[in-house]
Amino acid sequence: MQRPSARRDVMNPTQPTDDGSGMGLCGLDLMADQHRLAWLFRAVSAGEFLAVTAADAPAARRSVLESNNLAHETLAEWIEQGDRRGIRLTPRGRRLCVALVALRAEHARLLSHLGVAFAEDVRLLDRVAVRTSARNEFVARVASTMKGTLREDVLLEVAGRRFIKAAITQASVAALGLRPGIEVFALIKASSVFLLPTGEEEAHASHNTLAGTVSHIQRDGDTTEVTVDLGSGLTAVATGKAALAAHLSVGEPCVAAFRPSAVILGRVA
């Protein structure tokens, strides 16, 4: 059996494996260009600051926000000052990237030892791995569940001891095996999020409300995208018609609100 060579540049996070698979470990393609961590790896090679072009800015900025959300801490900072824009890693983010580089090197040696047949199995795992288009992705822990007639309300704790509620069917609760202490992904489409001035939460008591500060506003024709810094490394993204942010400006406090039924839950098997 021919075995792929383990010789490779472990400091190049986007280099494919020698067998052409570009696979990650256990079905997670951690090093691919399209992975959200790819921009963080590029920042490692750049040193203290990775400058990003205007064309690449949306993808790079999204990578930073999503990585911080899922990590429950700040792995990187998105810097935008005039024409200067880019990524600055925190010590924690840099340490994570170094750990994954080491993991990648060990993975290469494992493939070299086990051969091409094992690489085919890893490729299969990657094909069944799921990614989503939701702009708001939070790692959460189930705090409690409350059973209703047809659906069940699941209370979730996210970073910073904040809580949101998801309303899903009892069948989904059973299928996911949800119970207090279980870790899940909470997904909310940006179009399901609307923004309120602070102080108006009581008028939307049936909604999830997360207070924060407007950190970015981007307009494209009659559509507006607003990013809200929620603290504790979390951000929320809302999109809608131009009126979405008519009453808001960068640096202003606001509240991101969304219905419990807009929250989609997932769990890593």
Q: Which domains does the chain have, with CATH numbers?
A: 1-131 (1.10.10), 136-187+262-266 (2.40.50.100), 190-257 (2.40.50.100)
- Comparing CA positions, the residue from 135, 132, 124, 141 lying closest to residue 239 is 135
Residues 174-208 have pLDDT tens digits of 989 999 999 999 999 999 999 999 988 888 999 99
DSSP code per residue over 183-235: EEEEEE-GGG-EEE-TT-GGGGTTSEEEEEEEEEEEEETTEEEEEEEEETTEE
Say whether pLDDT at 4 is over 70.
Answer: no
Select from 48, 56, 94, 57 the least CA-distant residue to 73. 94
Q: Could you identify the residue written with the tokens 């990657």? A: 126
Q: What pLDDT digit, counting tens, does each position of 63-74 carry?
A: 899 899 988 899
- Tens digit of pLDDT for each residue in 72-102? 899 999 999 988 999 999 999 999 988 988 8
How high is the pLDDT of residue 119?
72
Residue with the bigger pLDDT between 116 and 149: it is 149
At 232 the pLDDT is 84
Residue 267: the pLDDT is 85
Place of tokens 């925190």: 90
- pLDDT at residue 233, rounded to an integer: 83
Average pLDDT value for the chain: 83
CA 108 distance to own-chain centroid: 26
Buried b (16+ CB within 10 A) or exposed e, 60-70: bbbbbbbbbbb
Q: Has residue 154 got a pLDDT over 90?
A: yes
Q: How confident is the model at residue 49 (pLDDT cuts 50, 70, 90)?
A: very high
Closest-CA residue to 195 (of 210, 178, 216, 185)? 210
**Higher per-residue confidence, 176 vs 7:** 176
Comparing 26-30, 176-180, 246-250, the range with the smallest average pLDDT is: 26-30
Structure confidence at residue 105 as a pLDDT band (50, 70, 90): confident
State the CB neighbour count (10 A cutoff) for residue 201. 15
Q: What is the per-residue pLDDT for 129?
A: 66
Q: Is the pLDDT of residue 133 over 70?
A: yes
pLDDT of residue 23: 39
Give the phi and the psi of residue 48 in degrees, each rounded to 5: -75, -30
Sheet holding 136-147, edge to edge: 162-169, 151-158, 136-147, 183-188, 264-266
Binning pLDDT at 50, 70 and 90, where does residue 37 land? Answer: confident
Work out the pLDDT band at 31, boundaries 50, 70, 90. Answer: very low
pTM, 2 dp: 0.73
Smallest Cα–Cα separation from 218: which of 190, 197, 199, 198? 190
Helix 91-114 to helix 57-71 angle (10° resolution) is 90
Q: Is 63 helix (H, G, I), strand (E, B) or coil?
A: helix
Query: For the chain, how far is it from start to end, CA to CA, in angstroms?
Result: 32
> What is the distance, to the nearest Å, from the Cα of residue 23 to the centroid of all Cα atoms in its chain?
20
121-130, 163-172, 219-228, 260-269: least confidently modelled range = 121-130
Q: How confident is the model at residue 22, as a pLDDT?
A: 39
